Structure formats: structure tokens, C-alpha cells
């Protein structure tokens, strides 16, 4: 293959990849059974899209039917997540095949809460407060989190990646009232992560950015 042909294939692939950015979620609503319905717009090259896929986590459950499903193919621009009690974390991506070229595009991960948005910092602040630092953090450096507990309870901190997949559990134990600070050795790849912190009756989601 000559250089000109290689360049044409490269630019065709690059343009396809840029054009395939998945449009933002256009609608989401809860039905009478407590299921979350999600609709989104098709990519620009809608006719070339071979399949849609989605990934989700519901209420932090990863070991049951409402856990992570990272390879469910969708035939339409919609999906339904069952039994949303508190929150859900999901992303959508598409696989496009156009001749000899193919590309995958991924949407931003969407956090859904029955009560408020991810940018709202406080959920039942009388129970606990948490912060990660440094945030953003350079990959390979040490990350810490500070947890302030105002009530004796069981606390869980679980880290998810941008596709909603569970990365690790940072904490899962009963804590007394007080302030806690823990260092985490970061071997995380660059990207956006979500730390979901839960007690028996409260939860909070914190964005954590890793850059290199």
C-alpha cells in the first residue's frame, strides 16, 4: 500500500471517529414501576452504525441482575434500567463499520439520581462528608481521601470507571464518629472516575480525575 493510500485510510478513519461522537442523552424518566428509561440521539453517521452498547451500575450492586452489564447490544437509541431505588451510573457507546474502517465512540458517563444532580455536593450532610486530594491527580501519584463521620454506621466507598464498571472497593466497614484520612496508591489509568460513598441511609458521588 502506497503512502497516499495509507493517508487516505488514516484521514477517513479519523473523520469517522470524530463524527461518531455520541450525542448527549436526550431524555430520561422513571416509569410507574421504578424503571429508568433513557433515550439518546444517533451519531452523525447513523446509517453506518453497526451496533450500540451500554454499561451501567445501579445503586452500586455488582453481584446480581441489577449489576454491571458491559456488553448488551442495543438495536435502538434507547435503554431501560430496572429498579432504580436511589442512583444509577451509565454510559453509551457505538460501534461503526464503514467499508474497511471501524470506530468506537463513547458518550460521557451520566450519573442519575432520583433526588438531585451529581454536581450537587451535599446529600444528607449530617451523616458524613468526604473529599479526595489532589483532584485532579497525576497518574502514579498518591491519592488521599478525608472522611468525616458524624454518626456510627457502616460505610462503603466504591470506585467506578467512566463506563460504570467497578474498579475497586476503597472502604467497607463500620466506623465511629470522627475524622479519617487514608492514602491510596494510584495505579489508575488516565480518565474520569466516580467514587460512590454510602452509609445505611445516605450516599454521595464524587468525581475523581486522573491525568498524566
pLDDT at 149: 85
Residue with cell 466504591: 158
pLDDT at 92: 54
The larger pLDDT score, comparing residue 114 to residue 124, is at 114
3-113 and 128-211 agree in CATH topology: yes
Query: Sorting pLDDT into bands at 50, 70 and 90, what band is 185?
Result: low
Phi and psi based region of residue 127 (left: phi greater than 0; alpha: psi -120 to 50; beta: remaining): alpha
Sequence ranges of the domains in the chain: 3-113, 128-211
Q: Tell me the pTM.
A: 0.48
Ranked by mean pLDDT, the top range of 1-5, 150-154, 198-202, 208-212 is: 150-154
Query: Sorting pLDDT into bands at 50, 70 and 90, what band is 194?
Result: confident
pLDDT at 88: 63
pLDDT at 9: 44
Among 66-70, 180-184, 186-190, name the one with the lowest average pLDDT.
Answer: 66-70
Residue 152 has pLDDT above 70, yes or no: yes
| Domain 128-211 class, CATH top level | mainly beta
pLDDT tens, residue by residue, 43-93: 544 444 454 445 455 554 432 222 233 344 444 566 666 666 666 665 555
Give the pairing of strands 101-106 and 78-81: unpaired
Distance CA 130, CA 77 (A): 36
Q: Do residues 146 and 180 touch, judged by C-beta distance below 8 A?
A: yes
The larger pLDDT score, comparing residue 174 to residue 3, is at 174
Residue with cell 433526588: 115
CATH code for the structural domain at 3-113: 2.60.40.10
Rg (CA), the chain: 20
**Average confidence score pLDDT of the chain:** 62
Amino acid at each position: 500500500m502506497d503512502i497516499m493510500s495509507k493517508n487516505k485510510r488514516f484521514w477517513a478513519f479519523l473523520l469517522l471517529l470524530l463524527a461518531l461522537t455520541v450525542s448527549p442523552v436526550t431524555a430520561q424518566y422513571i416509569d410507574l414501576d421504578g424503571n429508568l428509561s433513557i433515550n439518546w440521539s444517533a451519531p452523525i453517521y447513523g446509517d453506518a452504525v453497526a451496533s450500540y452498547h451500554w454499561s451501567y451500575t445501579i445503586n452500586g450492586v455488582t453481584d446480581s441482575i441489577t449489576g454491571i452489564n458491559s456488553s448488551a447490544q442495543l438495536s435502538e437509541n434507547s435503554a431501560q434500567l430496572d429498579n432504580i431505588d436511589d442512583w444509577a451510573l451509565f454510559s453509551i457507546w457505538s460501534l461503526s463499520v464503514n467499508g474497511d474502517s471501524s470506530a468506537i465512540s463513547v458518550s460521557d458517563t451520566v450519573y442519575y439520581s432520583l433526588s438531585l444532580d451529581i454536581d450537587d455536593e451535599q446529600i444528607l450532610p449530617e451523616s458524613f462528608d468526604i473529599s479526595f486530594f489532589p483532584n485532579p491527580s497525576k497518574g502514579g501519584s498518591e491519592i488521599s481521601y478525608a472522611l468525616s463521620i458524624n454518626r456510627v454506621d457502616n460505610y462503603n466507598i466504591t470506585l467506578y470507571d467512566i463506563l460504570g464498571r467497578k474498579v475497586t472497593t476503597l472502604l467497607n466497614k463500620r466506623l465511629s464518629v470522627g475524622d479519617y484520612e487514608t492514602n491510596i496508591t494510584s495505579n489508575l489509568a488516565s480518565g474520569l472516575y466516580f467514587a460512590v460513598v454510602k452509609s445505611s441511609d445516605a450516599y454521595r458521588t464524587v468525581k475523581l480525575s486522573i491525568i498524566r
